[in-house]
Amino acid sequence: MSKNIILDCSLRNVYSEFRAALPSILHQGGMRIAPATLTVGDFILSNIHCVERKSISDLYGSFNSGRLRDQVKAMVKYYKCPLLLIEFDPEKNFALQNSNELGGEIRLDSITSKLAILTMEFPALRILWSRSPHETLKIFKKLKRNHEEVDVEKAIEIGSNESLDELLLGGEDGYYDEGDNVHGANDAAKQMLIRLPGVNAQNARKIMNECDSIANLALLSRDELKRIAGPIAGQKLYSFFRERLPN
């Protein structure tokens, strides 16, 4: 059985997934976790299985913000088996709603109605129900059975081009002054940045927030690059900036 799992360690996810019990339980259960900055999904189990994990509170919040629909749309676009994992608190009831709140009609204030509408819009989506992180470990092991190890580089690249196009075309508030000659220079610097090894839409934004120039980026230590760009991308950047040119 393949053992590698990719865990999203982007800035948007680091506080939710890394502080949760699940990564530690997966590791203790024999899974090898590769932290990476992902544009699509929270966990990549194989080259066809992409998982968006939600606690009950996350599920309600993602529905209210509209983010969940966008996340599912991206998974459906790039993966054959898009999965929404709903993970319950083992100390609470294994139920989304009280039984007296259920009915036969679609209601906009009902979480079950929202899930039904989501699956109607995206028929390829599969929903996983887990009572606890330990149950999630069992589910992941079953899903990975008879599948090849996940391709980390491919998972990182998936969806990144679209996000990079948005990054380049949208600009950043305060990143340049309208009509200033710096505008063109900043655009050129952005183009150069996203072509560096390991850089994607997620870590490019953080790099631009913390570094004034490509030259400044090149002077950072290995640990600083890993902190800003992520473990894998940071190592790639460190090796790239210090690679000797052939004579």
Last residue of a domain, one of 129, 157, 185: 157
For residue 139, name the pLDDT band (cuts at 50, 70, 90).
very high
Range of the structural domain that residue 189 is part of: 160-241
Total-model pTM: 0.65
Residues 132 and 173 in one domain: no
Residues 106 and 180 in one domain: no
Last residue of a domain, one of 136, 157, 178: 157
Last residue of a domain, one of 126, 157, 188: 157
Element (H, E) at 231: helix 231-241
Residues 153 and 164 in one domain: no
45 in a structural domain:
yes
Domain total in the chain? 2
Q: Is the pLDDT of residue 163 over 60?
A: no
pLDDT in tens, 204-246: 888 888 888 888 999 999 999 999 888 888 999 999 998 876 6
For residue 23, name the pLDDT band (cuts at 50, 70, 90).
confident
Strands 43-44 and 49-55, by their bridges, are antiparallel
Q: List the one residue out of 53, 77, 36 whose CA is nearest residue 162.
A: 77
CATH number at residue 79: 3.40.50.10130
Distance from C-alpha of 97 to C-alpha of 176, rounded to nearest angstrom: 49
pLDDT in tens, 41-62: 999 999 999 999 999 989 999 9
Distance from C-alpha of 189 to C-alpha of 198, rounded to nearest angstrom: 16
Residues 110 and 9 in one domain: yes
> Is residue 233 classed exposed, middle or buried when 0-12, 13-18 and 19+ CB atoms within 10 A define those classes?
buried
Residues 138 and 177 in one domain: no
In percent, how much of the chain has pLDDT > 90? 34
139 in a structural domain:
yes
